[in-house]
Amino acid sequence: MSDGAEARPTAARPGWYPDPMTPARRRYWTGSSWTYATSDAVPVDHPPPLDVVPLPDGHRLPEPVGPRPAPAAGEVKPPQKKWKWALAVVVGLLVGLAGVLLSNRPSPEPKAAPAPPTTTETAPTVDPSAPPSPGDPSSNNDRSTASLASLVVKPEDVPSTAQVVVFSGGDGLGQPTLDLCNGTYPSELRRTARFQDAVLDSGGRLVLSTEAVLYRDGSGTTQALRELRSVVAGCPSTPVQSPIGQPAVITTFNSTAPDAGWPRTATVNRVAFDLTTDDGSGMPRRTIAVYLQRGRALLGVYFAQPEGPQVAVEGQTTVQGIVGVFAARLAALPVSVVGA
332: domain CATH number is 3.40.1000
Quote the pTM value: 0.64
Residues 202 and 323 in one domain: yes
Q: What percent of the chain has pLDDT over 70?
A: 72
Q: Which domain holds residue 26?
A: 1-55
The HSE-up count of residue 322 (CA atoms within 13 Å, CB side) is: 28
Closest CA to 180 of 232, 240, 254, 246: 232
What's the total number of domains in the chain?
A: 2
Residues 41 and 159 in one domain: no
Q: In the chain, what is the greatest distance between 2 CA atoms, to the nearest angstrom?
A: 79
* 206-259 pLDDT tens trace: 999 999 999 999 999 999 999 999 999 999 999 999 887 777 899 999 999 999
pLDDT at 286 over 70: yes
201-214 as b/e, with b when 16 or more CB fall inside 10 Å?
beebbbbbbbbbbb
Hey, which residues does 277 pair with through a beta bridge? Answer: 251, 285
Cβ atoms of residues 149 and 214 within 8 Å: no
User: What element of type H or E holds 95?
Assistant: helix 82-103
Beta strands in the chain (DSSP E): 15-18, 26-29, 34-39, 163-166, 191-200, 206-215, 250-253, 269-278, 285-294, 297-303
Residue 72 resides in a domain: no
